Structures are given as C-alpha cells and as structure tokens.
C-alpha cells in the first residue's frame, strides 16, 4: 500500500468551520498544505494569500490564521522533499472531489507506492471507474492534493504525459527523480 487511508497523525485542534494553512519551502516552490478537521484537503506548489483565500472559499471555511494544526502534514512534506519519507501517514479529507474523482484518486493513493508509476490506462482499469484514459488524465489535472495523492506517478504509455502542478512536466520529472523512478538529469 502506498499510503495509509487512516492516519496516526491527527490534525491538531482545527474546528469544523475552519481551515489551517502552512507551507514548506522546496526546490519546486513553497508547497502549501490546507488542513481541515477531517484531514489534508489541498496542496499547492505555490503559497500566496490569493491561493489560501481561494481554497478557503471553495471549502466555505474560515482560515484559522494559525499553521499549528498543519504541523504534522508539514513535517511529513519536509521529510518527503529531503528523501526521508516514502509514504504519507496523514488523514485525507476527500470533500473537494466528485465521487468519480474520489474513486480514481483513492485507487491511486492506495495502490501506487513511492518510486513506482502507473499509466493512465492502467489506472482506469485498476479503479474500475469506467473512465477512459483521457478522462483519467483530466482527473489527475484536477487533483486538489498533489504530492500526497501522487498524480505525478501517473504517466502516458509512451512517456511522462502531462502535469499541471508547479512548472508542469518539469515538476513531475523532479518528483519522479526524487523518488528514484527517473535517473538524475542535467537540469
């Protein structure tokens, strides 16, 4: 199993009507994490007041203004980017996804471990969703929790495929290199 569906790392004191934000500086940018009482609900490759406000608005929640409730998630992201963590042990809040997105992304989260990849077609079959490979690509592009729900591990049958996070395919390449799937390059 790539990641744990249930977490031993609880979110600290987030009320049900708030969301907590925090970020981790990485070579890909300041990776933002948004945490609700139910768990990690969103990540982004950039941290800004605009992005925080957009996530809070989409959730219909108020920003706590306190990063402490996100501390566990942020610590695990730091470990991941330092090459010291292969699986995330955080609760995931799936609320920003439709049922079809949730089915496909949960399958990805639970079955594709660190350093491994799956093609869009293989994930379509594995999820049993009936969604064609091109639709799987759209779901990966709309994943609200990249990195932790590892859409970077989904590739085309003939190459890396696309990526909408960070700087696009270059970010995907760097994440797959970090995980040892791709050899280090000259970039």
Catalytic pick among 151, 154, 155, 176: 151
Pairing assessment for the beta strands 154-155 and 118-119 based on DSSP bridges:
parallel
The β-bridge relationship of strands 118-119 and 62-63 is unpaired
* DSSP-derived secondary structure for 74-90: HHHHHHHHTT--SS--B
* Residue 36 structure tokens: 């609700």
Say which DSSP state 11 is in: P
In b/e form, how buried is each residue of 139-160, taking b as 16+ CB within 10 angstroms?
Answer: bbeebbbbbbbbbbbbbeeeeb
Q: Is 3 a catalytic residue?
A: no
Measured torsion, CA atoms of residues 71, 72, 73, 79, in degrees rounded to the nearest 10 = 100
* 25 to 9, 22, 92, 129, 154: CA distances (angstroms): 21, 10, 22, 36, 24
What positions carry a catalytic annotation? 151
């Amino acid at each position: 199993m790539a990641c744990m569906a249930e977490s031993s790392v609880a979110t600290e004191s987030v009320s049900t009507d708030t969301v907590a934000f925090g970020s981790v500086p990485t070579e890909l940018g300041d990776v933002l994490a948004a945490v609700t009482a139910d768990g990690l609900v969103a990540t982004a490759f950039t941290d800004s007041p605009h992005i925080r406000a957009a996530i809070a608005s989409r959730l219909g929640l108020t920003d706590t203004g306190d990063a402490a409730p996100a501390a566990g998630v942020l610590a695990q992201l730091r470990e991941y980017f330092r090459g010291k963590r292969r699986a995330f042990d955080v609760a995931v809040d799936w609320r920003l996804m439709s049922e079809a997105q949730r089915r496909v992304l949960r399958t990805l989260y639970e079955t594709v471990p660190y350093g491994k990849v799956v093609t869009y077609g293989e994930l379509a079959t594995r999820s049993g969703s009936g969604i064609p490979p091109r639709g799987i690509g759209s779901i990966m592009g709309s994943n609200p929790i990249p990195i932790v729900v590892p859409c970077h591990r989904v590739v085309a049958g003939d190459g890396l495929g696309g990526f909408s996070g960070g700087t696009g395919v270059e970010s995907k390449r760097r994440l797959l290199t970090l995980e040892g799937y791709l050899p280090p390059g000259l970039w």
